[in-house]
Chain A
Amino acid sequence: NFMLTQPHSVSESPGKTVTISCTGSSGSIASNYVQWFRQRPGSAPTTVIYEDKRRPSGVPDRFSGSIDSSSNSASLTISGLKTEDEADYYCQSYDSGSHVVFGGGTKLTVL
């Protein structure tokens, strides 16, 4: 079964840049689009990156997504960190049967 692996947690200071990785277990992560979701406590997830690197309207350009085929991984980079960025972040893609797959989530702490 295709799986996506994320670090359990990351932390960084306000104003700095943080990168969250999402590594595919098999095949090529570039074969299907990767999305990134932010989830604040008690709220539903919202999309911050879709189709690997595109931002929905309203998401600041401090958020960027990329794919690295050599490491079979996707990355979410947040620059100019703000305390409001503190949340859980999930990557998402699809398996060979077009079933939705999520990473386990990464808790971002901005301290």
Chain B
Amino acid sequence: VQLVQSGAEVRKPGASVTVSCKASGYTFTGNLVHWFRQAPGQGLEWMGRMNPNSGVTTYAQKFQGRVTMTRDTSISTAYMSLTKLRSDDTAVYYCARAGAFPFDPWGQGTLVTVSS
């Protein structure tokens, strides 16, 4: 069971970013996928979750209106898009599966840097 995320991204303030999370080793539609982020030197923050089977999402209130979680079941890949980026969105973004226990496994993380 493995989640492999896309590579590091650099964006200017006001832009958008999409991070992908490709699942392997299990049935992608059988488990929720959660997204988290961790700003430099800070703690973990939950962004939301998606049911890959139905596409139904739940977002943390802090990100409502700026985050969209989607999936492509044909390639077992989940996506997290964040718009209107600010400098304080600079962080490592993680996906993780909700399996037999939360959360396992995690992706390797994707660094998103927002800088002018």
Interface residues of A (CB under 8 A from B): 35, 37, 39, 44-47, 50-51, 54, 56, 90, 92, 98-105
Contact assessment for A46 and B102 in the assembled complex, using a CB-CB cutoff below 8 Å? no
Assess whether B43 is interfacial by the CB under 8 Å rule.
Answer: yes
- Nearest residue (CB) in B for A37 is B44
Least distance between B96 CB and chain A CB atoms (Å) = 8
Alpha-carbon gap, A104 to B60, bound state (A): 17
Residues in A neighbouring B49, C-beta threshold 8 A: 100
The residues of A that contact B102 with a CB separation of less than 8 Å are: 35, 47, 50, 92, 100
Query: Is the pair B109, A99 in contact by a Cβ cutoff of 8 Å?
Result: no
Check B101–A51 contact: CB distance below 8 A: yes
Taking CB atoms, residues of chain A closer than 8 Å to B58 are 98-99
* Contact of B43 (CB < 8 Å), options: A35, A90, A98, A99: A90
Q: Classify the interface of chain A: helix, strand, loop or mixed.
A: strand
Complex CA–CA separation, A104 to B101 (angstroms) = 21
Q: B60 is contacted by which of A99, A103, A105 (Cβ under 8 Å)?
A: A99
Q: How far is the CB of A22 from chain B (nearest CB, A)?
A: 12
Size range of the interface on B? 10 to 19
Asked whether A102 lies within 8 Å of B44 as measured between CB atoms, the reply is yes
Nearest B residue to A101 by beta-carbon distance? B46
Residues of A within 8 A of B71 (CB): none
Contacting residues, chain A, for B94 (C-beta < 8 A): 44-45
User: Which of B43, B58, B60, B109 is the most central at the interface, judged by chain A CB atoms within 10 Å of its CB?
Assistant: B43
Tell me if B109 and A100 are in contact (CB < 8 A): no
Contacts of A100 in B (CB 8 A): 34, 46, 49, 60, 102
Query: How many Å lie between the Cα of A104 and that of B106 in the bound state?
Result: 19
Verify if B104 is at the interface (C-beta below 8 Å from A).
Answer: yes
Q: Nearest Cβ in chain A — how far from B51, in angstroms?
A: 13
Which residues of B have CB within 8 Å of A102? 43-46
**B residues 34-48 with Cβ under 8 Å of A?**
34, 43-46
Interface presence of B31 (CB below 8 A): no
